Structure 1
């Protein structure tokens, strides 16, 4: 039973007992006159209504706090219940807000450490794939070429098939290495990396149309990496789940805010709960204090928008 009904029923019990006494031995007349009974009943009803109204007002801050605690999401920071009500409730709401501030800060710090370690591990794996596996497959490809030159006619076709399989594996290794750690992002900057990303997904059956503003500020490395990873995850989700034909990948800057927009014409997200991909994008957005929205658009499709403040970075 809620606190409201507990207090209300207690008050009601007291008032009912008082009314019973007034209608019983403690009365102004015996027997009870109809007018007196009506006055007592009306007075009792009014007191109950007033008691309920006062309790509703007094417990409203506690109900707002309860709703805020139920809907709290550390991936959507900044939502705080208003500090109102009596001193005890105001102190309770203030304590909750302070606790939420600390939790959001601690989560942001721990997420930053985890993602930083993840990027370092990705870079190490990409480097090993490129240096070790890539070089090994390149050596195998050269050896097969020498074997093909000296192989009898009936074996050259099989050697050629082995060459094609090895070449395909080498291309796949390079593609995986680029996705783990895009070298073009470090070497040529964010716009070139996003163009390469759009071209990569276009070759996988989805037409990605890039659109970039002509006057973009230089961003710091962390912001560029977050923008790239969010675009990569959004395009990956589109290719896997959206059944889309066309996707728009846009990057613009307005009034000190850089905006990344990925919009598709697929089947939309509907009422499906957010998966690990979207939650991962939200965690990355928190690293740079950016705002991320994922919403349906038009009659179908989904739009992912990331807005981040422009922070000065080294010239690219």
Structure 2
């Protein structure tokens, strides 16, 4: 039924009932009108308006649900759809909106995949240049400073040794940046070893205590899935260090029956409402890349939990 005929039909029902009541009810109108008759007419008008409003609200409820979904839909949370019943104008509108959401979600997932893959390729290139050029240059500087310090006398030797230590510290920082940009251990030894190295570096750099719980014999994802898990863990640890004011974190990797679940929990201050900045939205985009579910919960005074549930691949540890 078209929306016009639906509204027209509802109003016709209300007016028809009101007319039938006037015909059958023993109510008359005097001239001039009496107070009791005026009260009856006003009450009848009120009942008619209330009935008409209730019927219209019922008839237009699908449009209200559609409006609510349009105001809250988020392409980073796919699967939001409205049920469709019948074949009328409103049902066609809802079907068209659901189809549009499917197309937008598919296009968003494809574009996010292209962006993230390009980002990883650029990180790999920068990490390689830092390792091959900057790292080697600083290593050569260390050797030159060492030889110069051995041949120098007195105060100059101490200054050269000091410059050597500063250079060595800078070289260590460059190597740490290279590992953050592209974890070679992930490619060489797999996800568990990469997360172990990540948490060790994080604990040493921030001073926070990190507890690991990794299931033995995990069925893991393909290379793309492993990289998504690693990046989500990396971003979760970074957010905890910057914002949570935590003392202890727990990183868990477990087989939950048909899926691999990564959970990062901190004992920080938590927040009432999770504010989704660039970091969290980036994690959601990575989750979409492999069809994973990302859930972030935070309780004031009880910390924050980030849980990523990713479908399993056929690859075995």
Task: Confirm or deny a common fold (TM above 0.5).
Answer: yes
Structure 1 residue 278 and structure 2 residue 280: aligned? yes
Q: What displacement does 1:36 show?
A: 5.2
Alpha-carbon deviation of 1:149?
Answer: 1.2
Counterpart in the other structure of 1:241: 243
Structure 1 equivalent of residue 233 of structure 2:
231
Contact 2:258–2:312 (CA<8 Å) still a contact in 1? yes
More divergent stretch after superposition (222-231 vs 211-220): 211-220
Superposition pairs of residues 1-316 of structure 1, within 5 angstroms: 30-31=30-31, 34=34, 37-84=38-85, 87-203=88-204, 204-271=206-273, 273-297=275-299, 299-313=301-315
What's the Cα RMSD here? Answer: 2.5
Q: 1:33 to 1:269 in 2, by over 3 A?
A: closer
CA displacement 1:283-310 (0-9 Å, x = unmatched): 1000011110111148421000000110
Looking at structure 2, the residues matched to 183 and 129 of structure 1 have their Cα atoms a distance apart, in angstroms, of 13
Once the two structures are TM-superposed, the CA of residue 50 in structure 1 deviates from its matched residue by: 1.6
Deviation at 1:29, TM superposition (A): 6.0
| CA distance in structure 2 between the aligned counterparts of 1:262 and 1:136, rounded to whole angstroms | 38
5+ residue gaps, structure 1:
none
Report the more deviating stretch, 272-281 or 223-232: 272-281
Aligned partners of 2:300 and 2:200: how far apart in 1? 26
Q: Which moved more, 1:60-69 or 1:304-313?
A: 304-313
Cα distance per residue 1:41-67 (max 9 Å; x no partner): 343222212211110101111000000
Partner secondary structure for residue 60 of structure 2: helix
Once the two structures are overlaid, the 10-residue window that deviates more, 289-298 or 154-163, is 289-298
Tell me the secondary structure at the aligned position of residue 76 of structure 2: coil
Q: Structure 2: 5+ residue runs without aligned partners?
A: none
User: What secondary structure sits across from 2:207 in the alignment?
Assistant: coil
Q: Is residue 61–residue 85 contact of structure 1 (8 Å, CA) maintained in 2?
A: no
1:141 and 1:61, CA in 2 relative to 1: closer, same or farther beyond 3 A? same
Shift of 1:31: 2.0
